[in-house]
């Protein structure tokens, strides 16, 4: 159940939140996520924000050891640079990921190799801001571009520029000298 809780999301007490089955939610200015903001076409406006939610819990699957988990959701809109037309591109960005929390890094690596589940090491205090930023960065498109055609035509060479064929070939003089031999 989502409720107001006096918990600093930048130092969330994970074990207690999982034990109590808590949900934290809120919004951060996009400028508070500097690594994500650095990937954008323009610096974020003061009104740009990231909405997020983190659900914590525990469950005991039949015949297995109890599991502690964290589910993170976040969404925002970002301005990227279209790699086709080099103009601004508005892109919705969202993520939803569920992590099983484990005791050690070695256990996380072993379980990552054995299953498709996501694993995180259970730490006393978790920086949810950094986790949300990491997950949103992973959702950025590798090659941002407008769907279909770009809204503005691509720049064309000016009409007064000579086409490649009309320009003198720099090696033509060498060829003429060679013919003279």
Q: Do 76 and 53 form a contact (C-beta atoms < 8 A)? A: no
Whole-number pLDDT of residue 161: 59
Q: Is 131 exposed, middle or buried (0-12, 13-18, 19+ CB in 10 A)?
A: buried
For the stretch 81-100, pLDDT in tens is 999 899 999 999 999 999 99
For the stretch 132-179, pLDDT in tens is 999 999 999 999 999 888 887 776 766 665 556 667 777 877 787 787
Put simply, whether the predicted model's pTM sits higher than 0.85 gets the answer no
């Amino acid at each position: 159940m989502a409720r107001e809780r006096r918990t600093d999301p930048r130092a969330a007490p994970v074990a207690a939140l999982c034990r109590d089955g808590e949900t934290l939610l809120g919004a951060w200015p996009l400028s508070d996520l500097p690594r994500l903001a650095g990937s954008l076409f323009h610096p974020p406006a003061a009104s740009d924000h990231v909405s997020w939610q983190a659900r914590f819990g525990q469950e005991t699957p039949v015949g297995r050891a109890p599991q502690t988990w964290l589910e993170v959701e976040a969404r925002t809109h970002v301005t990227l640079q279209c790699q086709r037309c080099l103009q601004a591109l508005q892109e919705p960005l969202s993520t939803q990921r569920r992590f099983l929390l484990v005791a050690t890094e070695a256990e996380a690596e072993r379980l990552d190799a054995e299953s498709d589940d996501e694993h995180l090491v259970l730490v006393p205090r978790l920086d949810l801001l950094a986790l949300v930023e990491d997950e949103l960065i992973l959702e950025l498109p590798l090659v941002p571009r407008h769907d279909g055609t770009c809204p503005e035509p691509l720049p064309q060479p000016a009409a007064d520029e000579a086409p490649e064929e009309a320009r003198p070939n720099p090696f033509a003089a060498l060829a003429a000298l060679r013919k003279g031999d």
